[in-house]
Structure 1
Amino acid sequence: MLISSLVCSQVEEVNPPDYIKTISFKGNTPESQLPVLKLGDYVDLEFDVLNGDEDDYYYTIEHFNFDWTPSVLIKSEYLDGNDNQRIRTYENSFNTYQIYSHYKLTIPNEQTKRLKVSGNYMINIFNSDNELMFSRKFMVYENMANVGVNIKRTRDIAYIEEKQKVDISITPKSSHFNNPKQNVKILVVQNNNLNTAISNLVPQYTIGNQLIYKYDSESSFWAGNEYLFFENKDVRASNTGIQHIDLEDLYHNYLFTNYSRADKPYTYNPDINGNYLVTVLDRDNPDIEADYVWIHFSLLPDPRFKGKTIHVYGNFNNYAIDDTTKMVYDDVDKVYKCAILLKQGFYNYKYVAVENNGTLNEGLVSGNFYQTENNYKVIVYYRDLGKRYDRIVGFGEGSSINISN
């Protein structure tokens, strides 16, 4: 399966070391990890450091072009105030087996007063030795265009049961777009996952000043399947999706063994599209009172897994695929296993395969079904004649819950 990715992508997000967990990055919408916020709105970044040393951390903010190459704007042109400031708000965990410090940063704040322009941004978190700990992308938009998003089944008969296509209409609110085939670019994101985003679409035609995108294969996504989930807001008792528990140095939650769903009939099962929510029972503040638990995933083998590596996949680690998410076959129990340290809460996850050539195959284990409910975001960029940076002039969202032919 081929993945559409950001064209000419230059800057990638850096994932954190093992002792930094539960990075929550969101604006005034519930989605984590990929904030798309209106110019002037706030954004919150929270994370835990699992050493209890109360280390100092600092942040910087950078502006980028559509293709994630650095923009030519100097800092004072896109930022009012200062960055490279210490994150001052943090609390230590309370009454937990795992000691950690919870850090929180809100932008704008007293030092970083506001972001002046729209566009692509990256926030970078450094330690006191000026070592980059992790970075996250976010987008800021101006509401200068109406963006219509409509999800339909693909017209390609070969994939009509497996793919969803995104139809898009963009209508500027005041004036028209100059030379839109050159100056207007869009990014289409499924379930907040930039790894599978589509970015190489140009308007097919115009009606008045409205830009129309009604591609078939070019704007199609593999539909996937509803995410699996578990909840462990009470670590001392088995919750949804958890078969049994154990207490050693920390609590261990063993999930029910999953199986390949690719050949099973589609079953509607409401999910939160790969996201997660930190929550804890009988506590007032989940930020510092939710504990960390070893979550044990297990998956029955399947002949189609041969020659591929299987990973646990979800927004809990920003859809990263690495050694911590790799499933290892257990010869004794005859299942694939993986243990991941996660904070108490409600989590969506699924299993994906990585081919020998490094290609991600999201549907090998879970299957692809056109009925799957997915969230789609469309971000519209515009660089007018003579301008020095790519503005984000519109933002639209759609869901495949009511997908049509």
Structure 2
Amino acid sequence: MRILPFLSLLSLAAACVPLGTPITSTTPGTQKPPEYYADKSLRYQDYTYSPDVRSVQCYTGTGQANEVFQPPVVPLGQSPAIVLEFDVLGEQSQRFNAKLIHCDANWQPSVLTDMQFLNEINEFLITDYRVGTGTKAPYFHYKTRAPQVKLSGNYLMVVQTPAGVPLLSRRLLVYENQVQVGLAPGIVIGGKERFTMQQLDFSVGYGSVELVNPAVEVKVVLRQNFRWDNAKYNLHPTFVRDTERRLDYQYFNFENAFPGLSEYRYFDTRSTQTVGLGVLHVNPRAVPVTTVELQQEVTRNLTAYNQYVDSNGQRVFESREYGNGATNADYADVTFQLKADQPAPGPVYVFGALSDWQLRDEFKLTYDETKQLYTGHALLKQGYYNYDFAVAGAQGTAPNEVYFEGSHYETENQYDLLVYYRPPGTRADLLIGYKAVDMNSRQ
């Protein structure tokens, strides 16, 4: 699923509109914020703790036009910085600070002190903020950069109030190339799975570094489109080639395979004066915010693959009328529609970067048996969005995106492999190797 370098998307909000209104609500502001925001305890994952915080983007600041699509992954000691941007709804600016938490390979806080991975005090006041201009929904836009660190590995960036209440957290990766990572598209060994799954073959060469018991101590994580919710963990080498100093990972039960899915659905709300792609109707005169009704979608399961360029579930923010998406893009009440002959085997959600790759109550759809239609709405910032429809499964399992989206081996996706190792006598899991590849690249 290819990235569109020039497009933008929106995200939920409006201070004059009830915040945190579930997507199932028929009128913005008639319901209390969902329970998602009730627990303020820190989670070591990408998470938003306040319904006032919207449109979060965390990416590597490369200075290029499409930098917002670059995941928060940077090499140790080099210049690209990880950038965090977000909106806070309301008419009054607030004081926030950020800090880093060093984590182990399992995303649990490590025992390192701040000075063991930082050269400065671990509290960074966010001073770059601007007010939203010419918008119905009042908000302030905040932007900050992560500081350079001394060790590779996993870091959690936390934005919080002066009282220490978390507002949002984002996972960051800092890597070094101590090992040679081989990662390439493979061929699925199976029956019908070869038409629906995508396999990644990979290896770890450690000829240039001394690793103690690498078959046990080296840990790898395989991700699709830089997501954490369906990442592959606990992958062990199938062959240890001591003479070649290489670990090979070759599986036969799809341990290293993902459903290819379909190219992501999309809609364009960069303009409130015209109807964009995927949009059925726009009412810029609606109060308190503009309303947008998207076109009715249908299931794509059991249909042929349809090729087009997408942004792998991401979104960007932009206002075509006024320019700068950071502070000129407004918020709109966006209605989603999905035609279905019968209810799905579980709750259905709008899913993607717009929901932090989580099944959030705000994006849950309701089913009307008379109309045979799933509907719901959310407040989203002007822009260009990718998304799909996901069905919730058993607790702790990845959402079922195949049910409505289908799956094809031809789909364009991005994959990356993370290689961790903890040297003997140390207390930190280092990210000693990293590689990303495109599957079915259109370039």
Counterpart CA distance in 2 for 1:288 and 1:103 is 10
Out of 423, 430, 433, the position equivalent to 1:384 is 423
Instruction: After TM superposition, list the pairs within 5 Å mapping 1:6-405 onto structure 2.
Output: 11-28=44-61, 30=67, 32=69, 34-40=71-77, 41-108=80-147, 114-172=148-206, 174-207=208-241, 208-216=244-252, 217-246=254-283, 247-249=285-287, 250-303=289-342, 305-330=343-368, 333-355=371-393, 359=397, 360-401=399-440
Q: CA deviation at 1:164?
A: 1.2
Classify 1:256/1:137 alpha carbon distance in 2 versus 1 (closer, same or farther; 3 Å).
same
C-alpha contact (below 8 Å) 2:413/2:438 kept by paired residues:
yes
> What residue in structure 1 maps to residue 28 of structure 2?
none
Report the count of equivalent residues.
388
Counterpart CA distance in 1 for 2:204 and 2:326 is 40
Q: CA deviation at 1:350?
A: 0.4
Give TM-score scaled by structure 1 length: 0.90
Q: CA deviation at 1:258?
A: 0.3
Counterpart CA distance in 2 for 1:386 and 1:131 is 35
Identity, % of aligned pairs? 28
Classify 1:259/1:292 alpha carbon distance in 2 versus 1 (closer, same or farther; 3 Å).
same
Give TM-score scaled by structure 2 length: 0.83
Gaps of 5+ in 2: 1-42
C-alpha contact (below 8 Å) 1:169/1:213 kept by paired residues:
yes
Which secondary structure does the structure 1 equivalent of 2:47 belong to?
Answer: coil
Q: CA deviation at 1:151?
A: 1.6
Gaps of 5+ in 1: 1-9, 109-113
RMSD, aligned CA: 2.0
Can you list the C-alpha shifts for 1:112-135, whole angstroms capped at 9, x where unaligned? Answer: xx3111101001111233211121
Counterpart CA distance in 2 for 1:350 and 1:83 is 38
Quick one: higher RCO (CA 8 Å, sep 6+), 1 or 2?
2
- Between Structure 1 and Structure 2, which shows a larger proportion of strand residues? 1
Classify 1:18/1:54 alpha carbon distance in 2 versus 1 (closer, same or farther; 3 Å).
same
Counterpart CA distance in 2 for 1:271 and 1:74 is 42
C-alpha contact (below 8 Å) 2:207/2:246 kept by paired residues:
no
Counterpart CA distance in 2 for 1:153 and 1:302 is 35
C-alpha contact (below 8 Å) 1:260/1:302 kept by paired residues:
no
Counterpart CA distance in 2 for 1:175 and 1:372 is 37
Classify 1:388/1:355 alpha carbon distance in 2 versus 1 (closer, same or farther; 3 Å).
closer
Can you list the C-alpha shifts for 1:221-252, whole angstroms capped at 9, x where unaligned? Answer: 12211100111211111011111111312111
The aligned amino acid for 2:366 is V
Superposed structure 1 runs of 4+ greater than 6 Å apart:
none
Counterpart CA distance in 1 for 2:323 and 2:345 is 47
Q: CA deviation at 1:34?
A: 4.5
